[in-house]
Chain A
Amino acid sequence: MTTNILERPDPALTTEENQVLVTLTLGEQLCGVPVLAVRDVLGEQTITRIPLAPPEIAGSLNLRGRIVTAIDLRQRLRLPPPPPGQPRMSVVADQGGELYALLVDQVSEVLSLDASTFERNPPTLEKTWAAFSTGIFRLDGRLLVVLDVAKLLALSGEE
């Protein structure tokens, strides 16, 4: 399985050996999304609820005059809702000209990771996660799940 990032001819950021990821946390799990898929990283935002929308859709927010649909990744990955009052950050991604904000618990550093530490999803991985993950990076003491942004945003296709 190839990711978007590998198809992009940008040798400065990504080579066959390296993959650059923005790391984020969802609950206890460390995840990563390819850095080129990320347009913005936002702190806590005012989000307008959208009634009758699927539960994964947290609402809309205003990003410099553009309306961005916020998707709650905890809901998307069937994780329990965050403790109340916890500030949440988001990662903005572009899909077909529309902007989407992926709501996560915390966005941390940008890592350049050696492809040799990359592994396919273990076959026993839970289906929800397996569907949205392109593979796993073995870090020191932690595992990083690479999320497939395109699949995370493919909400309408499922309905």
Chain B
Amino acid sequence: MDVVKTNIEKIGGTIDLKSTVGQGTTFTVKIPLTLAIVSALIVEAGKERFAIPQLSVVELVRASRGAALSSGSSVIERINDTPVLRLRSRLLPLVSLTELLALGSDDRAEDSAHVVVAQVGQHMMGIIVDRVFDTEEIVVKPVAPILRHVTMFSGNTILGDGSVIMILDPNGIARASGVGAGSEAKLLRGAPVEAQSSADKTAMLLFRAGENQRMAVPLGLVARLEDIPREKIELSCGAPVTQYRGKLMPLIAIDGGDDGQKPTQPLLVFADGDRTMGLMVDEIVDVVEDSLDIELAAGRPGLLGTAVIGGQATDVLDTGYWLTQAWQDWFRSVPRQGTAPGQPHILLVDDSEFFRQLTVPMLGAAGFRVTAVGSATEALRLRDTGCMFDAIVSDIEMPEMDGMQFARTIRSGGAWVRLPLIAMTAHSDTDNARAGREAGFTDYVGKFEREALVASLRTNLTEPVVV
């Protein structure tokens, strides 16, 4: 109960408790109005105005209903009267608000339209509207009980000019138009099954280290966050270690991360199998969901590069580098390769989530678009749904179907029969390499030789990569 009270008070609310013996207790929870205020985009369709919560709006695209106005502008195309839009080499299912809400008078004579790209769960869809006005902060009011069955609206509100406006519910629109119900699965083929593309959103842990720098690391790579008392840090051969869960865990400091001032030391704990290491940072800031697009390659070891995360330039930690600092044999460290502008699409098959998390940003930084899956079976499923890649990188040791069998399956037929197929293994000796080549692998690289992997990809890709 105290937790509830603390949290309510934190947001500026109050909680009242009235208790009568033998009758019961009344809790009155008051939360401030600001929590009911959302930022909404005001749009017009069929001469009516509607509000779309800004939270679900990804972007706005201006498109023409007929022929392209100028080269490069978007055109709403129709497949048997179903509107779709090409958006950055994807087909986006479109919903006409005028048609959906039966507003009549679909003014198709008017050539230009706006497409509000909205994200509903995992699915993207475009809502065609006639005009886009401004964004407004609105107070969401519930709709009258007699209108509850109209699921297209999440509420209504009064705008600054006094007019009443309905607030659209993107979830309701998606349900009504069948987005996410399978009908659009063919249009967005491949997109929902992309386990984790380097352009998709990743949960990133933000922290500060060194000279108060803002840094980030994919949250999936971090096993735990710890805050250990400073006296628990001991020295082993001059290097800091701590006793962690009955074992000695090496601690690594990022630059001045170990300032020795504060009584406790925040740690990011990385774990793989039975090996752990602690990275000493100054402060753990936040966890944000953002796309991990490394825009500037790093000029110094330990960083993958710089990405815009949460609206600020943030250094992305090269976990691999720090792991090797702790355990020389974790994997061999290799110098980093600069970013290339080409975007060949790589399929990464690896059963270890840890290495998928590690390899996706690494290949992303090297200029590849990466789709990662956790098993050969999943990869073959992608093939059967018609996904195409420029090359495949696969682990050898995997449960169920191993890399050798996977390679033989691919080489036996299907759409991927001619794709470059690169094996990644911890045992990259000659015998294994020969067996791999016999199974159908184009090349064979050691699992942690990232430089070799990138070089091998570049050589084997049919599409030459501009460096």
Contacts and interface: CB of A to CB of B under 8 A. Distances in A.
| Bind each other | yes
Given A48-B48, A52-B150, A60-B156, A156 B166 contact: no
A50 B163 contact: no
A62 B158 CA distance: 7
B147 interface: yes
Given A60-B164, A62-B163, A67-B164, A52 B145 contact: no
Interface string A52-83: 11100101111001010100000000000000
A57 B158 contact: no
A62 B150 contact: no
Interface residues of B, number: 23
B144 interface: yes
Contacts of A46: 163
B158 A65 contact: yes
Interface in A27-63: 46, 48-54, 57, 59-62
* A50, A61, A153, A155: most-surrounded residue (chain B CB, <10 A): A50
A69 B162 contact: no
Given A65-B158, A159-B149, A48 B144 contact: no
A61 B146 contact: no
A100 interface: yes
B102 interface: yes
Interface in B134-179: 141, 144-150, 152-153, 156-158, 162-166
Nearest to A99: B144
B103 interface: yes
A61 B141 CA distance: 13
Interface string B30-53: 000000000000000000110000
B147 A53 contact: yes
A60 B146 CA distance: 12
A8 to B, nearest CB: 24
A57 B165 CA distance: 15
B253 to A, nearest CB: 58
B165 A69 contact: no
B101 interface: yes
A98 interface: yes
B162 A62 contact: yes
B147 A69 contact: yes
A147 B148 CA distance: 25
Closest 9 CB pairs of A and B: A51-B101, A69-B144, A60-B164, A155-B146, A48-B164, A156-B146, A52-B150, A62-B164, A62-B158
Contacts of B141: 67
A96 interface: yes
A49 B48 contact: yes
A46 B48 CA distance: 12
B145 A96 contact: yes
A48 B149 contact: no
Nearest to A65: B158
24 contacts: A48-B48, A48-B163, A48-B166, A49-B48, A50-B147, A50-B153, A51-B103, A52-B150, A53-B147, A53-B150, A60-B156, A61-B164, A62-B162, A62-B163, A62-B164, A65-B158, A67-B156, A67-B157, A69-B146, A153-B146, A156-B145, A156-B146, A156-B148, A156-B149
A113 to B, nearest CB: 30
Nearest to A153: B146
B48 A57 contact: no
A51 B101 CA distance: 5
A61 B156 CA distance: 11
Contacts of B145: 96, 98, 156
